Amino acid sequence: MTYSLKCLFVAVFILVSVGSSLQAQDIKIEGLRFGKTADATRFVLDVSGQINPRVFMLSNPNRIVIDVPNANWGTKKNVKVSGLVAGYRHGLFSSDVYRIVLDLKSAATVKNRFALPASGRRSNRYVIDLKPATSAQFVKAVADTRKIRISNRETRAPVIEPRKKNGKRVIVLDPGHGGPDPGTLGRSGANEKTITLKIAKEIKARLEATGRYKVYLTRTRDIFVRHRRRFALAKSVDADLFISVHVDAIDNKKVRGGTVYTLNERASDKEAARLAAKENRSEILAGVDLAETTDEVSNILIELAQRETLNNSARFAEILVPEMRGQVRMHKRGHRFANFLVLKSPDVPSVLIETGYITNREDARMLSSKEGQRRISKAINIAVDKYFDTLLALGR
Ligand SMILES: [Zn+2]
């Protein structure tokens, strides 16, 4: 392991959502709307109490990020965007910050923002007016708000104390996406982030019931976790295997079936490359400033000369695909490769499972059902057993 890698793993604190770290979520965001004033796009949040959000801008793509401390979402309504705003997402960014990300149609800056107290039947409101800007003005606004986003990094959650292995193999399950990054969206309103968490919990229960495994989740609730933190968790608990769980989406609604991916700088095919690019966008969706991300993750690729990790990842994938095929629909070519950030663990064998297509009716039904989730976890359980038996036979 090189010096840079050691630095990374010493420096990274592990974020795992444990119940005890939950803080009181005092504020409820009860509604939101977009409107127009004479010269601005108005964004209004209805809130249960007074808030003073941190607001900052990001470029490439242009976004405005609104972080509300100690808040949670209390409305199911989706609203239409208008004016300068092209879309929005929201979710728990860290245990004490609720994040809303506005995608901008074109450069814009905050003209003014202010709180309105509750009056009569109206609740507390927070208003942000956006006005069109030149790209130079936008660049300046990004620079001006840089301090805010730096002071607003994800909270450091407690480092997990790895328990003694006691002869148990350690497995880290990674439910894809979370918080302001919903992953792919199904037509029925089901989000990838919700389905992956359910499947991962089902797999955990099944694997732990065998008594052979200690299983950790990279997240246990709907919260954002960066790619690097996901695989750093695997490192910190000395994991023997890392399994990232995802759900795919595609325009062609007829396409269905699961695929198991392992890491390769060069994708096995165009479709795999497209998928990896999409999955790697997580941090952009969640309003993370990639300009501040050092190239630790790309450095790690060099370490992948550690052939054994890659060999074992492929070994597990090859065992897993036929087991999955026995339970659920799989692609003809069930094992493929691409450059997924979340699989860049230098010494923990890692796979990413696209369990099916949320855009296909049958797949969506299967993925959202208890029965479908059971089938997937059964296949994974059998494959995990076989994989470790194979390693044992090889004396590892
Ligand atoms: Zn995904």
The residue whose two tokens read 């690097």 is: 228
Classified by CATH at the fold level, domain 25-150 comes out as Immunoglobulin-like (2.60.40)
Residue 14: both structure tokens together: 């592990």
Give the CA distances from residue 353 to residues 38, 313, 337, 379, in Å, rounded to whole numbers and listed in that order.
Answer: 49, 12, 11, 12
Does 106 or 305 have the greater pLDDT score? 106
For residue 112, the CA-to-ligand 1 centroid distance in Å is: 36
Cα 239 to Cα 242: distance, rounded to the nearest angstrom? 7
For residue 235, the CA-to-ligand 1 centroid distance in Å is: 21
Give span(s): CATH 2.60.40.3500, the chain: 25-150
Q: Is 293 left (phi over 0), alpha (psi -120 to 50) or beta?
A: beta
Identity of residue 291? A
**pLDDT reading at 150 higher than 60:** yes
At 65, give phi and psi (nearest 5°).
-110, 130
- With residue 199 as reference, give the H or E element that holds it: helix 192-209
Does 300 or 330 have the greater pLDDT score? 330
**pLDDT reading at 255 higher than 70:** yes
**pLDDT reading at 162 higher than 60:** no
**Predicted confidence band at 179 (pLDDT cuts at 50, 70, 90)?**
very high
For residue 367, the CA-to-ligand 1 centroid distance in Å is: 14
Average pLDDT over residues 319-334: 96
Q: For 104, which DSSP code?
A: E
Cα 313 to Cα 139: distance, rounded to the nearest angstrom? 42
**Predicted confidence band at 294 (pLDDT cuts at 50, 70, 90)?**
low
The CATH H-level superfamily of 169-393 is: Zn-dependent exopeptidases (3.40.630.40)
Q: For 191, which DSSP code?
A: B
For residue 247, the CA-to-ligand 1 centroid distance in Å is: 6
Residue 326: both structure tokens together: 């026995």
For residue 143, the CA-to-ligand 1 centroid distance in Å is: 31
For residue 329, the CA-to-ligand 1 centroid distance in Å is: 18
For residue 322, the CA-to-ligand 1 centroid distance in Å is: 22
Give span(s): CATH 3.40.630.40, the chain: 169-393
**pLDDT reading at 2 higher than 70:** no
For residue 176, the CA-to-ligand 1 centroid distance in Å is: 5
pLDDT in the model for residue 265:
83
Cα 329 to Cα 366: distance, rounded to the nearest angstrom? 10
**pLDDT reading at 293 higher than 60:** no
Cα 254 to Cα 391: distance, rounded to the nearest angstrom? 38
For residue 279, the CA-to-ligand 1 centroid distance in Å is: 5
For residue 194, the CA-to-ligand 1 centroid distance in Å is: 11
Cα 387 to Cα 242: distance, rounded to the nearest angstrom? 13
pLDDT in the model for residue 17:
36
Q: Is 391 exposed, middle or buried (0-12, 13-18, 19+ CB in 10 A)?
A: middle
Please tell me which of 81-95, 285-299, 370-384 the model is most confident about, judged by mean pLDDT. Answer: 370-384
Partners of 99 in the β-ladder: 67, 91
For residue 359, the CA-to-ligand 1 centroid distance in Å is: 13
Residue 385: both structure tokens together: 């057993």
pLDDT in the model for residue 246:
97
Cα 244 to Cα 217: distance, rounded to the nearest angstrom? 10
pLDDT in the model for residue 146:
83
Cα 262 to Cα 322: distance, rounded to the nearest angstrom? 16
Please give the full DSSP string across 158-186, using - where no structure is assigned. Answer: PPP-PPP-TT-EEEEEEE--BTTB--SB-
For residue 321, the CA-to-ligand 1 centroid distance in Å is: 18
pLDDT in the model for residue 164:
53
For residue 184, the CA-to-ligand 1 centroid distance in Å is: 7
For residue 183, the CA-to-ligand 1 centroid distance in Å is: 5
**pLDDT reading at 109 higher than 60:** yes
Mean of pLDDT over the chain: 86
Cα 178 to Cα 193: distance, rounded to the nearest angstrom? 5
For residue 116, the CA-to-ligand 1 centroid distance in Å is: 38
**pLDDT reading at 207 higher than 70:** yes
For residue 357, the CA-to-ligand 1 centroid distance in Å is: 11
For residue 198, the CA-to-ligand 1 centroid distance in Å is: 14
Average pLDDT over residues 84-106: 94
- With residue 206 as reference, give the H or E element that holds it: helix 192-209
For residue 354, the CA-to-ligand 1 centroid distance in Å is: 7
Cα 204 to Cα 279: distance, rounded to the nearest angstrom? 23
**pLDDT reading at 19 higher than 80:** no
Question: Contacts for 67-70 with beta carbons within 8 Å, 24 or more apart?
Answer: 67/93, 67/97, 67/98, 67/99, 67/100, 67/152, 68/27, 68/29, 68/97, 68/98, 68/99, 68/100, 69/96, 69/97, 69/98, 70/23, 70/24, 70/25, 70/26, 70/27, 70/96, 70/98
Q: What percent of the chain has pLDDT over 90?
A: 66
**Beta strands 213-217; 169-175: pairing state:** parallel
For residue 383, the CA-to-ligand 1 centroid distance in Å is: 22
For residue 25, the CA-to-ligand 1 centroid distance in Å is: 27
For residue 175, the CA-to-ligand 1 centroid distance in Å is: 9
Given a contact cutoff of 8 angstroms between Cβ atoms, the answer to whether 227 and 282 are in contact is: yes
Strand, coil or helix: 88: strand
For residue 125, the CA-to-ligand 1 centroid distance in Å is: 34
For residue 352, the CA-to-ligand 1 centroid distance in Å is: 9
60-69, 170-179, 273-282, 297-306: the lowest-pLDDT one? 297-306
Rg of the Cα atoms in the chain:
22
Sign of the dihedral defined by the CA atoms of residues 146, 150, 151, 154, in that order:
positive
Cα 317 to Cα 263: distance, rounded to the nearest angstrom? 11
For residue 139, the CA-to-ligand 1 centroid distance in Å is: 31
Strand, coil or helix: 144: helix
What's the first-to-final CA gap in the chain, in angstroms? 20
Average pLDDT over residues 83-105: 94
5-19, 55-69, 186-200, 342-356: the lowest-pLDDT one? 5-19
Q: Is the pTM of this model over 0.85?
A: no
For residue 173, the CA-to-ligand 1 centroid distance in Å is: 14
For residue 118, the CA-to-ligand 1 centroid distance in Å is: 40
For residue 246, the CA-to-ligand 1 centroid distance in Å is: 4
